[in-house]
Amino acid sequence: MYPQTMPRNSWYMAAFRDEITREPFARTIQNIPLVFYRLQDGRAVALLDQCIHRQMPLSLGYIENDNIRCCYHGLVFGPNGQCVEIPSQESVPALAKVQTFQVVEQDGLLWIWIGDPEKADPANIPPCPWLNSPDWVGATGILHMNSRAQLLNENLLDLSHVEFLHPGSIGASKLSSFPITVDADEKSIRVTRIMDDIECPALFKKAMDLPDRIRRTQTAEWFAPGFHVTHIGASPVGADDEDQFRHKALHWVTPETDTSTHYFWALYRNYRLEDDEGLTQMLRDAHHAVFCQDVDACEAIELALQRYGQDSPPYVNIKVDNGSLKSRRQIESMLREENI
Amino acid sequence: MYPQTMPRNSWYMAAFRDEITREPFARTIQNIPLVFYRLQDGRAVALLDQCIHRQMPLSLGYIENDNIRCCYHGLVFGPNGQCVEIPSQESVPALAKVQTFQVVEQDGLLWIWIGDPEKADPANIPPCPWLNSPDWVGATGILHMNSRAQLLNENLLDLSHVEFLHPGSIGASKLSSFPITVDADEKSIRVTRIMDDIECPALFKKAMDLPDRIRRTQTAEWFAPGFHVTHIGASPVGADDEDQFRHKALHWVTPETDTSTHYFWALYRNYRLEDDEGLTQMLRDAHHAVFCQDVDACEAIELALQRYGQDSPPYVNIKVDNGSLKSRRQIESMLREENI
Amino acid sequence: MYPQTMPRNSWYMAAFRDEITREPFARTIQNIPLVFYRLQDGRAVALLDQCIHRQMPLSLGYIENDNIRCCYHGLVFGPNGQCVEIPSQESVPALAKVQTFQVVEQDGLLWIWIGDPEKADPANIPPCPWLNSPDWVGATGILHMNSRAQLLNENLLDLSHVEFLHPGSIGASKLSSFPITVDADEKSIRVTRIMDDIECPALFKKAMDLPDRIRRTQTAEWFAPGFHVTHIGASPVGADDEDQFRHKALHWVTPETDTSTHYFWALYRNYRLEDDEGLTQMLRDAHHAVFCQDVDACEAIELALQRYGQDSPPYVNIKVDNGSLKSRRQIESMLREENI
């Protein structure tokens, strides 16, 4: 069955760069309420969003220089979590310290480590070069999902639902009948489907002005526990350049609680790069609609899981679940490693 | 105390005929999510509303000929529940079968059996001849109730609340002081009150143009576990025809979950039969309002039951509870038979 | 940790005088649903809001003379709870009695005793002379709070949050740096802060036309388990009359359930007594806004407590918590006495 919890000793995408400012910003990740803000030099910090005195959310307070002041009794905490002022008394107990969390900003994304601090290695944060490259342009979005994170991981590693869940946009007839190949190492998985000659979906026509039949390639690549790159290629059948039009659909799946998830996404393209806000907006809207269908599917399944608890009727796996099931095994193995 | 669960080895009214079409229709009955649809020849079928592959509700999918296709990965199921197509692979495992439920259509109503299939005998479905008779005309409605089904069963077998819960419509002064008689066999109960000379209630005046004092008769008839016919007669005091004006109020009480109920109703009359849509609409609206008062009462009591759990203060039964209490004993006996 | 339940053998404020009329009035106190109404001679009564017959809330019924009639089957109960009429039968069982609760009206307030009736002594109800004195004038209000009552008790005994939670109204810079004194006996606590020379807060300027610097005094006085008088004084620095302008902020903290609270308040002043509805309205609105900030704080903390259950991160007390912590100890001691 789908794991409900996710590993803790992992980097999770916490926010897009612009979300974190000089105002307190609250977001719960892995059941932990967090407050984020930027220091005067621009660095981002993350603290437990709870005053050590009376449990008041610090995110309701005020940023003062590099510190945050609780709105209830005015206690002030530094970016390292240490309390530096209690307005009603002279002394501050050394123990008066709020928990902090390591964050790293890379490629315009803020990543957070909520597990054992000694195991945090920023070198393990997956790069997202497309976000900052002159050769790519695109749009981003955030969705909130009332389902466990793994349901979305499995959705994204499964290329076959595209035909049925997304008709009228990226779905195409017979798509599911093309074979997939799956390739995995310890913490990543790649599922590839090459469609040499297939119907051109509605959205591709609109964006790339392609003919009725195209060559289409799709590789869903996953880096455990929650980062996905869907590599998408399209070209007229028989074209010299087999991947004339390319998309990178990026997905960051970050657990909010055991049954809710932050779904960050980006959709970048390698064509019509300049000065085409209209195309960018159209692709943003179209993919927002597509990803909402995925969210709806995960939420419907989560409701079914919660209705049945442990007594769910038996279910059946099919061949194209190969990639999804491998990701489930990897998550389970990571959880075992952490004794969760 | 009121039973919270209801017997499973029983026929329950699942839907009015017109609710089931060539589009998937979702309704939960006895905690089981179901999808209903009609085959090309018009027969209705009911399947567990959950794909065997990834728990997706089938009701979000598509009808294709006599089959239903899941909207997530396109698996197709026949009306017998057998999976007949998995788009991404050639073979279909024999075990790929979704649970089905027996349904019977009779008198314009769809009945379902959710218990042990071997015990299902359509001969036990109670007939509702008034719905299809040229001598009767009427209207139907559906209410949803956040209370266990038995509270409504007891409400409907109790003729004495009419005076107090429904003043201004069907209530009448002194109604409760007329004696009742109760007659029961193993799976049905009849509670009768004959009021030889009683105030004519507001709604009766409006619909039947009766004088201030009338003879009024009422028999609440119950067929376990959830079908009620309230036989209502009215005539001027001393009239030759003692039941000049007659109503059949039909009620189908179908558990949705242990604390919510589908309340289907119909109100048929034997007078002003032809071409009187105005009267039919007035009676529909008036009875909708009356039955909403019953729903409100059941929901208020359910809240009280849930507040106290097992520690409810002791309560007192009165003489007119005779029919209600007999129905409770019958339900309890049916549950014991099923070892619930 | 904050107690979640409150003592039962105590008087609680149940309603302002005008709330109780000749119509049934429903309010839950200490998890007990109650119905209040006035007899023909004006006395108020309180009964369990649940018919002994079918658990119907009596508050949905009708007052008839000094009795209340259930809206479901018409049972009638006297003000002593005894059932005096069952419409459908001649006799009334002696056991047919709904529980009643002792109420006392004093100073325009209705107090209720929900614990052991033998321990109820109206002499223990704290007097509120300001509400009926020609020397004081003011306004009242009621707020509903989704948090346990003790969080508000501790908020009200804590004078130091004023600076940070209520800026722009009654907050003032440096307020928290003035020392407090705490004085307690068995069932009451007084926390006092005298500010000889402090910034005049915005609201004080508006209401009392005071200069920029004032002498300000504040004593939070608590009578366990839920009555608070905040004695407030203000005068220009160096004035002869040290408490020229005085406010009595009265707060009655009454548990509704273990995690929700009725917050009744009054704000009385000793100046501009006559014919100044504008000032009264302004002070009512301003204090409503201030007390809403307190409610928001308590609700935010209650959410944090419920998120963590027993696993809350450790927290730190500070010196100004002295009064709050003493109240917590007194409540805990009262609960121990009642074996709760």
pLDDT digits (tens, 9 = 90+) for B64-74: 999 999 999 99
Q: Coil, strand or helix: which one is A187? A: coil
Residue C305 reports pLDDT greater than 80: yes
Tell me the torsion sign for CA atoms A24, A25, A26, A30. negative
Whether residue A139 sits in one domain with residue A120 = no
Interface test with A, best of B47, B55, B77 (most A CBs within 10 A): B55
Mean pLDDT value across residues B2-28: 97
> Whole-number mean pLDDT of chain C?
95
**Of the residues C98, C124, C150, the one at which a domain ends:** C124
For C247, the enclosing helix (H) or strand (E) is strand C245-257
Domain membership flag for residue B229? yes
Q: Which among A124, A139, A156 is the end of a domain?
A: A124
pLDDT digits (tens, 9 = 90+) for A198-214: 999 999 999 999 999 99
Is A5 among the domain residues? no
Residue C93 belongs to a domain? yes
Same domain assignment for residues B40 and B177: no
Residues of A in contact with C305 (CB under 8 A): 55
How confident is residue A269, by pLDDT bands cut at 50, 70 and 90? very high
> Which domain range does residue A221 map to?
130-337
Indicate if the pLDDT at residue B76 is higher than 70: yes
Token readout for C328 is: 């917590």
pLDDT (tens digit per residue) in C173-216? 999 999 999 999 988 999 999 999 999 999 999 999 999 999 99
Q: Quick check: A13 pLDDT over 70? A: yes
Average pLDDT of the residues in A215-240: 96
B30 SS3 class: coil
The domain boundary residue, chosen from B124, B155, B175: B124
Q: Are residues C180 and C37 in the same domain?
A: no
CB within 8 Å: C313 and A99? yes
Angle formed at CA B84 by CA B83 and CA B88, multiple of 5 degrees = 95
Does residue C310 have a pLDDT over 70? no
- For residues B193 and B332, membership in a common domain is answered with yes
Best C318, C320, C325 member to test A by mutation, with max A CBs in 10 Å, is C318
Closest Cα in chain C, distance from residue A300 (Å): 25
Does residue A310 register a pLDDT over 70?
no
Q: Is residue A3 part of a domain?
A: no
From A274-278, B165-169, B292-296, C20-24, the region with the lowest mean pLDDT: A274-278
pLDDT of residue C97: 95
Tally of domains in chain C? 2
ipTM score = 0.93
Does the pLDDT value for residue A186 go beyond 90?
no
Confidence bin at A44 (pLDDT 50/70/90) = very high
- pLDDT tier for residue C241 given thresholds of 50, 70 and 90: confident
Nearest CA of chain A to the CA of C207: how many Å? 25
CATH for B85: 2.102.10.10
Q: Taking residues B270-287, what's their average pLDDT?
A: 92
**Per-residue pLDDT tens digits for B129-181:** 999 999 999 999 999 999 999 999 999 999 899 999 999 899 999 999 999 99
Strand A83-85 with A76-77, pairing: antiparallel
Q: Band of the pLDDT at B254, cuts 50, 70, 90? A: very high
> What number is the average pLDDT over the span B31-49?
97
Residues C120 and C169 in one domain: no
**Residue entry with tokens 């599911």:** A176
> What is the tens place of the pLDDT at every residue in C88-120?
899 999 889 999 999 999 999 999 999 999 999
Residue C315 reports pLDDT greater than 90? no
Tell me whether residues B74 and A164 touch, CB distance under 8 A.
Answer: yes
Q: Does A173 touch chain B (CB under 8 A)?
A: no
C-alpha to C-alpha distance for B203 and B205, rounded to whole angstroms: 5
Task: Judge if B143 and B67 occupy the same domain.
Answer: no
Q: What is the pLDDT of residue A154?
A: 97
Residue B1 lies in a domain: no
Average pLDDT, chain A: 95
Higher-pLDDT residue of C314 and B282 is B282
User: Is C130 domain-assigned?
Assistant: no
Alpha carbon of C192: minimum distance to chain A alpha carbons (Å): 14
Cβ atoms within 10 Å of C120's Cβ, excluding its own: 19
Alpha helices in chain A (DSSP H): 149-156, 162-165, 202-208, 277-308, 322-337
Is residue B310 over pLDDT 70? no
What average pLDDT does the structure give for chain B? 95
Cα nearest neighbour of C158 on chain A: A73
pLDDT in tens, C134-183: 999 999 999 999 999 999 999 999 989 999 999 989 999 999 999 999 99
pLDDT in tens, C37-76: 999 999 999 999 999 999 999 999 999 999 999 999 999 9
User: Are residues C212 and C118 part of one domain?
Assistant: no
Those chains having 3 or more beta-carbon pairs within 8 angstroms of chain B are A, C
The residues in A 306-325 lying below 8 A from B, measured between CB atoms, are 307, 312-320
pLDDT band at A248 (very low <50, low <70, confident <90, very high): very high
C148/C287 same-domain check: yes
* Res. B335 pLDDT band, cuts 50 70 90: very high
- Are A86 and A164 part of one and the same domain? no
Sort residue C303 into left (φ over 0), alpha (ψ -120 to 50) or beta: alpha
C2 found inside a domain: no
B156 lies within 8 A of chain C by CB: no
Phi, psi of C43 (to 5 degrees): -65, 145
Proportion of chain A above pLDDT 70, given as a percent: 99
Do C254 and C199 share a domain, yes or no? yes
CB contact under 8 A, C163 and A33: no
Amino acid at B119: K
Within a domain: C251? yes
Give the CATH number, domain containing residue C227.
3.90.380.10
Q: How far apart are alpha carbons A43 and B67 in whole angstroms?
A: 58
Give me the percent of chain A exceeding a pLDDT of 90. Answer: 91
Same domain, C211 and C287: yes
Nearest CA to A223 among A249, A184, A255?
A184
The answer to whether A60 faces chain C, any CB pair under 8 Å, is: yes
CB B183 within 8 A of CB B168: no
For residue range A108-144, list pLDDT tens digits in order: 999 999 999 999 999 999 999 999 999 999 999 999 9
- For the stretch B178-199, pLDDT in tens is 999 999 998 899 999 999 999 9
Residue C307: is its pLDDT beyond 90? Answer: no
Q: Which two tokens stand for residue C333?
A: 């001691």
CB pairs under 8 A between A and B: 69
Dist. CA C245–CA C235, nearest whole Å = 6
Report helix, strand or coil for B254.
strand
Sequence-distant (≥ 6) Cβ neighbours of residue A200 within 8 angstroms:
A172, A210, A211, A212, A213, A214, A216, A234
- Name subunits touching A (3+ CB pairs < 8 A): B, C
Q: Do B95 and A316 touch (CB under 8 A)?
A: yes
Å between A296 CA and nearest CA of chain B: 10
CA B226, chain centre distance (Å): 6
In a shared domain, residues A161 and A216: yes
